[in-house]
């Protein structure tokens, strides 16, 4: 077997991050002003105005992380303790723990095993009289089928939060994600389409939601009010001016970043679409995928080996893919399975939840799509600096590894 390798750009360092003179220029202005706090500065507010304008929406607040963005979105809805929030089991834990911090219970909808996203049908199955919100995640940059989801939500009178952390500028029927539901939440963590190292954004058309979110980011202190006070329980989730400066420069590059990722993905589709046992990403009809990562479905039954074996073979060529993504559904992680929350209380989970947590067979029966998805998904590294050479190299090595593994299994 040839051990030819090619150094791939990485979003974990400058080789795969579009950072340069524009960010340095914005940062210099902040440093020279001596104002690093966003309550007195101009960069964060300028970024918020620009991001809102890009999405054609009234309100935008930048904050310290994608997790903080989800938390602020939940606070905007002001659910009562022990309310249920429907969400996906295939997501970062930072999109789930804010639900618990608000004293609410995450209720998981299954996912489609090929899009990795929740659907209207799987959401509807989990709606109860206690449901107060639906939190959908556009995983890997592939948008959920929002038409049926929004119809269901409107029929039931349930607000929708869109987690767009991995889906900047993705569209559904010409409408940008984050503007379809009631609130959109984004992340600017190191590996996202734009980055400030850590950072988040929330957007909404709703004036009341917007005010609660801006207050929540600022310890609920009414900046600019005639007689300000701390109006409700809240945290300090502010973004600094230094991060705002980087965000402002990054935003000017976002369109290019997305186009580059899409062009590379289209080339990869051409290489892999006809490969036996491999299924390439498929966005919903009239939707656009923005490829936070490029994921393929690996069919063990067809190939005779599983996704982990393919990933191991690719590693020999310097391709550091992630088989099975988060390895197991979120509800099987210890914090949720054992309800390790506040002291020994297990709050907000009750005995019924804890009983389910001990029954692996129940979860597998109820969430077949989630288990299938995670058993077969191969997450390939991806960023805007991938050239035709990089894409061709990865595709060739996938084909070579499949051929070599098939020969080994046939012996």
Mind listing the pLDDT tens digit for each residue in 253-305? 999 999 999 999 999 999 999 999 999 999 999 999 999 999 999 999 999 99
What is the C-alpha to C-alpha distance for residues 141 and 164, in angstroms, rounded to an integer?
A: 8
Predicted confidence at residue 3, as pLDDT, reads 67
- Residue 135: which H helix or E strand, with range? strand 131-137
Predicted confidence at residue 356, as pLDDT, reads 83
Predicted confidence at residue 355, as pLDDT, reads 87
Predicted confidence at residue 1, as pLDDT, reads 42
Pick one of 2.40.50.140, 1.10.1060.10, 3.40.640.10, 3.30.1330.60 as the CATH number of 14-251: 3.40.640.10
Low-confidence ranges of the chain (pLDDT < 50): 1
Give residue limits of the domains in the chain: 14-251, 255-328+370-410, 330-366
Domain covering 255-328+370-410 in this structure, CATH number: 3.90.1150.10
Angle CA 227–102–342, to nearest 5: 120
Strand pairing of 287-288 and 171-172? antiparallel
Predicted confidence at residue 276, as pLDDT, reads 96
Query: What are the tokens at 317?
Result: 């060529």
Enumerate residues 6+ apart whose C-beta is below 8 A from 190. 11, 12, 197, 198
Predicted confidence at residue 358, as pLDDT, reads 84
Q: What letter would DSSP give residue 164? A: -
| 168, 150 Cβ separation under 8 angstroms | no
Strand partners, 163: 137, 185
Predicted confidence at residue 18, as pLDDT, reads 95
Could you tell me how far CA 223 lies from the centroid of its own chain? 31
Predicted confidence at residue 411, as pLDDT, reads 67
Rounded alpha-carbon distances, angstroms, from residue 218 to 20, 68, 117, 177, 233: 31, 12, 33, 26, 10
What is the C-alpha to C-alpha distance for residues 7 and 387, in angstroms, rounded to an integer?
A: 12
Strand partners, 106: 85
């Amino acid at each position: 077997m040839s051990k030819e390798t090619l150094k791939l750009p990485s979003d974990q360092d400058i080789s795969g991050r579009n950072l340069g003179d524009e960010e340095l220029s914005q940062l210099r202005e902040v440093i020279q002003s001596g104002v690093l706090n966003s309550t007195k500065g101009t960069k964060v507010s300028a970024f918020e105005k620009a991001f809102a304008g890009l999405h054609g929406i009234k309100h935008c607040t930048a904050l310290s992380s994608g997790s903080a963005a989800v938390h602020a979105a939940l606070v905007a809805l002001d659910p009562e303790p022990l309310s249920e929030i429907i969400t996906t089991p295939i997501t970062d834990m930072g999109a789930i723990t804010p639900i618990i911090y608000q004293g609410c219970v995450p209720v998981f909808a299954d996912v489609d095993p090929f899009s990795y996203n929740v659907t209207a049908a799987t959401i509807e199955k989990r709606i109860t009289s206690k449901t107060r919100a639906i939190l959908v995640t556009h995983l890997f940059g592939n948008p959920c089928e929002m038409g049926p989801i929004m119809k269901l939500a409107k029929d039931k009178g349930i607000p929708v939060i869109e987690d767009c952390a991995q889906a900047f500028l993705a569209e559904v029927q010409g409408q940008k994600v984050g503007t379809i539901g009631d609130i959109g939440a984004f992340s600017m963590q190191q590996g996202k389409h734009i980055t400030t190292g850590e950072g988040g954004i929330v957007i909404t058309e709703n004036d009341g939601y917007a005010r609660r979110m801006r207050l929540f980011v600022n310890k609920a202190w009414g900046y600019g009010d005639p007689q300000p006070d701390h109006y409700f329980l809240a945290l300090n989730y502010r973004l600094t001016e230094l991060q705002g400066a980087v965000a402002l420069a990054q935003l000017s590059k976002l369109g290019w970043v997305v186009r580059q990722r899409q062009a590379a993905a289209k080339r990869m589709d051409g290489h892999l679409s006809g490969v036996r046992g491999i299924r390439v990403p498929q966005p919903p009809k009239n939707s656009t995928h923005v490829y936070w990562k490029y994921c393929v479905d690996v069919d063990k039954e067809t190939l005779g080996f599983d996704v982990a074996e393919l990933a191991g073979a690719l590693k020999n060529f310097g391709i550091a893919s992630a088989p099975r993504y988060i390895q197991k559904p979120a509800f099987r992680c210890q914090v949720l399975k054992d309800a390790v929350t506040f002291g020994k209380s297990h709050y907000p989970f009750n005995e019924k939840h804890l009983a389910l947590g001990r029954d692996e067979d129940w979860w597998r029966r109820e969430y077949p799509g989630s288990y299938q998805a995670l058993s077969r998904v191969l997450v390939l590294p991806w960023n805007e600096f991938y050239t035709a050479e990089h894409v061709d190299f990865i595709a060739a090595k996938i084909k070579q590894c499949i051929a070599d593994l098939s020969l080994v299994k046939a012996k």
